[in-house]
Structure 1
Amino acid sequence: MGDALRLEALLRSIENPQPLTSAAPEGPSPVATAMKAVLSHWPTIALTSVAAVAVAVAYLATATPQFTASGLILIDLKNGASLRSTAPTVSDANVDSANIESQVELLKSERIVRRVVVAQNLADDPALQPGPLARTLSAITGTVMFWKQPAPAAEGADPKVTGAARALQKLTTVKRLGTTYVVEVSATMPSATQAAAVANAYADAFIQDQASLREELSRRMSNMLKARTDELQAETRKAENAVEQFKFSGSLAGESSALARVTLKNLESKAQTYRVLHDKFLERYAETWQQQFMTLPDAQVASLAYPPQSKSAPKSAIILAASLFVGMALGLLIVLLRDRRIVGLGT
């Protein structure tokens, strides 16, 4: 009887199931609320995004494109060593790296840039002149604020060349490629052709400067050797004359002929020493004099700079992507400020 009742109750529960627990209906999540509010204001976000992109497009349409051309210079230290009177020692290799770094710093110097400005007639180039905004800021910072003024030009230097050279320094980069003997020179100008011309002129100016420095060094050393050679020649003649005068003085025939022969030997030795020194300095002077006409710089062009196919700045893709991001962020901010539901999410 009891089993029959239990079986009947089980059948009823299967036919009419009852919920085990009752739960209150859940409302929408905060994230869903925020998404709904943002989607409801999509025109605002779209409008700010379009406006930001439009500003970027206007900038790209009016901005002056910049092109960067690069050339390679090979620092060949063997050229200078080939003109030395003595062969290079093994220890010279230990200072090669420092010498190359020194050449890189010389490439960056204003002296080389001034050569480029003069060679390319860039003193009045608009690309190297300050724009209206820069002139206005310079005037304000120079009169109102305690701002560091540009260094004055050297005495006798053309102010236009100096200004153009300092502006060009900011548009060029010089760097050594790793630990190699190769130095890359890059120039950025509004024209692709001009950028390549400036980069090549940079290399030419540096090589000419190296040749001029070596020629000047050879000339100065030649003058010093010439002066010392003349002095030794005079001393040699004086010593040889003393030997001849002593021989014909009759001192060798006297009772002290042994002492006289010692004196004569000393005079001849002195004359011979001066003669050897004079001959060595004369030989070195001749070598140095010849070097003025066969100087070789420590650098040569490894690869010319060619006009680039595309501009290096402004970068259109990056600017458009950034403007789109800024426009969307600005639109979201406006939505956050206008919709209290989003502002109050954390409460």
Structure 2
Amino acid sequence: MSTVSPASKKQKLQKVIGTHNGTFHCDEALAVFLLRQTAVYRDSDLKRTRDPSVLDTCDIVVDVGAVYDESKQRFDHHQRGFTEVFGHGYETKLSSAGLVFKHFGKEIISNVAQLNVDHENVHTLWLKMYKEFIEAIDAVDNGISQYPTDLKPRYTNRTDLSSRVAALNPPWNQTLDAAGVDAQFLRASSLTGGEFMGKLSYYANAWLPARELLTEAMAKSRANIDSTGKIILLEQFLPWKEHLFELETKSGGPPAALYIIYPDEFGGNWRVQAVPVSPDSFESRKALPEKWRGVRDDELSKISGVDGCIFVHASGFIGGNKTKEGAMQLTKLALEL
């Protein structure tokens, strides 16, 4: 049994987190980091042991102890009969990281995003972080294949977070004492936490604002451009595809958007993009007219009757014009053809 304290802590801390000693994994390394982002466990000490009598003295225990009971602050997932999942459509069995995130994630996100824990955006980010970050850690730790078949991979990938945490364990032919292994565990916890916070920062400060801007643009476009919702005008470039499909699903109505108009990311030109049939599809709901495809500049302006044309892709999924007005004209024409 060993006790780990951050180097900056000189005194016994009020709360104690318990987890197992020996070889460590991504899930409990992240679980410990996440707990230290909460109000209750922010300045907690850490005990790494498998001794039940020592674990019983801890305020919270993760990834060891064969008990999952929130009321007792026990969060293990190895016991027979454990089937807990995140819910909300996710069916991957939780690891200690998933258990801690399920119970404490909203508080952590609330603190980082500086929003009330009951704010809709906190719930949105909580679901997003599970989908994009936590679920894979749960699956790897529980030995769940990413694919439903036994297809042999074409290459080996050892750059995922779980693999990098595993690599911080001492190799088989190198002996470290308990203090040395504990120091490596703290490195692993810091590694997982840094990646978690970086991902959360992106979703809170870039991904979520894009969603809000798209929501506003959809409403304004219905009011001012096309009441059916077939055309959406964005006044600035932003990643819209994932959000559009999620917002359409959330609305409960049939998909409406056919074209997105937005300024070019790197210049003063404007783009018209046909909405795909699904986020990963190359097939459009309504591609730009066939007679425009693969045509450029003055020839395209002549064929379409719209000044300032730049191009239409050979597949018809995107086109460009020098002005917003020109892009708007192309789009309205495309609806009719």
TM-score over 0.5 for the pair: no
Kindly indicate which of the two structures has a greater share of residues assigned to strand.
2
TM-score calculated relative to the size of structure 1: 0.22
Kindly indicate which of the two structures has a greater share of residues assigned to helix.
1
TM-score calculated relative to the size of structure 2: 0.23
